[in-house]
Chains A and B, each alone.
Chain A
């Protein structure tokens, strides 16, 4: 069993799949993204880390933390 969280540069293919999936939904937990695109959770987390630094994805807190495409979700009323 490998416990270590993925380190190093993210897989560009997974980053593209994450962006594609987030384009179809309003917001998601990264585990849901991992299941939907068939990637490991740690690889998705690593991809999201880079995508947030690139200003393409952002974190959203609504009782728990979600991810969404930058600018797609407005602050809820």
Chain B
């Protein structure tokens, strides 16, 4: 029945890709809510406006986040989705499950909710779509019994997220899975009880490939890096040279031109201090080039999507921090507390930390969190509008305001 009434949605089933419409139609066979969801969505496409209201009070006792209130604006027309709340569950680091756990999630959700899931949304959480207000507490109680907890929503720490890291990836420069797990457990209050001007996100990527897109999608990006030099296996370089043009594919695409391939000796060399750890050469020649041995992470701040201001990429505030032992995590946690304290004091309502820094200046922010400016924060003096240099600094650096040499 729904297929006949959803000509616009039906278009989204065409092509070779999986379709969320097909999946909702499958759910609609046994869920009236899923069927009405299709009707609401079709109508929204036709009228080009949404029919959902968002927010209000929906939650479980003692928690301020984890459930997002959704209400349809014509409950009399769509009674089965009159209340269609979203539940976020904290995901395991790296999204590793066994089948028993996945069955448990689905069984509880089919018992109380629409049966629709989003594994995993842009937040990283297990997202369960569509339940009634009366079922929220029982859902939480059963998931708690099964070992799950709610994720973040509202003006709190959102569920921290990480790449698969050393669980499956040779490029990981630190254990993203352990860092995410350890640091999430530390900040449970911040996750469950919204207390800030707006949301705050932490994402952990094991290397500069940044598989969590942390630099654009998190207030704090923790990106794996190394502080010594690339390790090059010259025998493996020779094997690559036999099947590819290393100069064209690797050296010419190096953003800082720090790699040189000697065609005569078939050897690759690097000027370590010029390398920006972009990962391009490693991605192209993974058997020949590895990150250095002294690994850790770069901490960046301020990434976000558009709301008060336009979208921001995050800025470097700590070029290198070890992320191996509990002491290293303690250093990161202390830094985060200082950052949130400053933002909580100075941020306006609905202002992400990047926007507060944009409004008040990086200098005030760095002073507030007691972090000294370092050269890695900028490309060159005046290249970054948030770090201001005195004339004496510029004279000493030999660089003019436009970046040219004096």
A binding-site residues for B, Cβ under 8 Å:
1, 3-5, 29-31, 41, 45, 48-49, 52-53, 55, 58-65, 67, 73-77
Residues of chain A with a CB closer than 8 A to B155's CB: 64-65
The answer to whether the Cβ of B69 comes within 8 Å of any Cβ in the partner chain is yes
Bound Cα distance from A67 to B154, whole angstroms: 12
Query: Would you call the interface of chain B mostly helix, strand, loop, or mixed?
Result: loop
Q: List 16 A-B contacts (CB under 8 A).
A: A5-B190, A5-B341, A31-B197, A45-B189, A48-B193, A48-B195, A49-B62, A55-B61, A61-B56, A61-B154, A62-B55, A65-B64, A65-B155, A65-B195, A73-B57, A75-B71
> B59 contacts the other chain (Cβ, under 8 Å)?
yes
Confirm or deny: B334 has a beta carbon within 8 angstroms of a beta carbon on chain A: yes
Identify B349's interface contact among A41, A53, A64, CB under 8 A: A64
User: Given A52-B63, A61-B154 in contact, is the A45-B349 Cβ separation under 8 Å?
Assistant: no
Q: Which residues in B have their C-beta under 8 angstroms from that of A45?
A: 189, 193, 195
Which residues does chain A contribute within 8 Å of B338, judged by CB atoms?
A: 3
A3 with B337: in contact, given A59-B154, A64-B155, A65-B155 (CB under 8 Å)?
yes
Number of interface residues of B (CB under 8 A): 34
Known: A52-B62, A55-B61. A64 touches B197 (CB 8 A): yes
Question: Is residue B124 within 8 Å, beta carbon to beta carbon, of the partner chain?
Answer: no
A-B contact count (CB 8 A): 84
Interface residues of B in 35-77 (CB under 8 A from A): 53, 55-59, 61-65, 68-69, 71
A41 to B347, CA, bound (A): 13
What are the 6 A-B residue pairs with the smallest beta carbon separation, nearest first?
Answer: A59-B64, A75-B56, A65-B194, A65-B155, A53-B62, A65-B154
Instruction: Give the residues in chain B near A59, CB-CB below 8 Å.
Output: 57, 59, 63-65, 154, 193-194
Task: Say whether chain A's binding surface is mostly helix, strand, loop, or mixed.
Answer: mixed
A76 and B56 contacting across the interface, CB-CB below 8 Å? yes
Q: Which of these, B56, B61, B350, contacts A52 with CB under 8 Å?
A: B61
Is B264 positioned at the interface, with any CB of A under 8 Å from its CB?
Answer: no
B residues neighboring A (CB under 8 Å): 53, 55-59, 61-65, 68-69, 71, 153-156, 189-190, 193-195, 197-198, 334, 337-338, 341, 344-345, 349-350, 370
CB nearest neighbor in B for A71: B57
CA distance A48 to B57 in the complex (A): 16
Are B69 and A52 in contact (CB-based, < 8 A)?
Answer: no
A21 nearest CB across to chain B (Å): 16
Taking the closest CB of chain B, its distance from the CB of A59, in whole angstroms, is: 3
A63 touches B55 (CB 8 A): yes
**Nearest Cβ distance between residue B126 and chain A, in whole angstroms?**
20
In the complex, what's the smallest C-beta–C-beta distance from B12 to chain A, in angstroms? 30
CB-contact partner of A49 in B59, B189, B337, under 8 A: B189
Closest to A70 in B: B57
In the complex, what residues of A have CB within 8 A of residue B341's CB? 3, 5
Residue of B53, B59, B68, B350 near A64 (CB, 8 A) is B350
Of chain B, the residue at the smallest CB distance from A68 is B57
Kindly report which residue of chain A lies nearest to residue B56, judged by CB atoms. Answer: A75
Complex: chain A residue closest to B351, CB-CB:
A64
* Assembled-state Cα–Cα distance A74/B69 (Å): 13
- On chain B, the residues within 8 Å of A41 by CB distance are 195, 344-345
Taking a contact as CB atoms under 8 Å apart, the answer to whether A61 and B55 are in contact is yes
Cβ–Cβ < 8 Å partners of B69 in chain A: 61, 75
Chain A positions within 8 Å of B71 at CB level: 75
Chain B residues near A73 (CB-CB < 8 A)? 57
Q: Give bound CA distance, A5 to B154, whole Å.
A: 19
Q: How far is the CB of B365 from chain A (nearest CB, A)?
A: 14
- Interface pair B350/A63, CB less than 8 Å apart: yes
CA distance A49 to B68 in the complex (A): 19
Chain B residues positioned under 8 Å from A49 (CB to CB) = 62, 189, 193
Task: Given contacts A59-B65, A62-B56, list 13 more A-B pairs with CB under 8 A.
Answer: A1-B370, A29-B197, A41-B195, A53-B61, A59-B64, A59-B193, A60-B57, A61-B69, A61-B194, A65-B64, A65-B155, A65-B195, A77-B53
**Chain B residues, CB < 8 A from A75:** 55-58, 69, 71
Q: Which residue of A has the minimal Cβ distance to B349?
A: A64
Write out the residue numbers on chain A whose beta carbons fall within 8 Å of the beta carbon of B189. Answer: 5, 45, 49
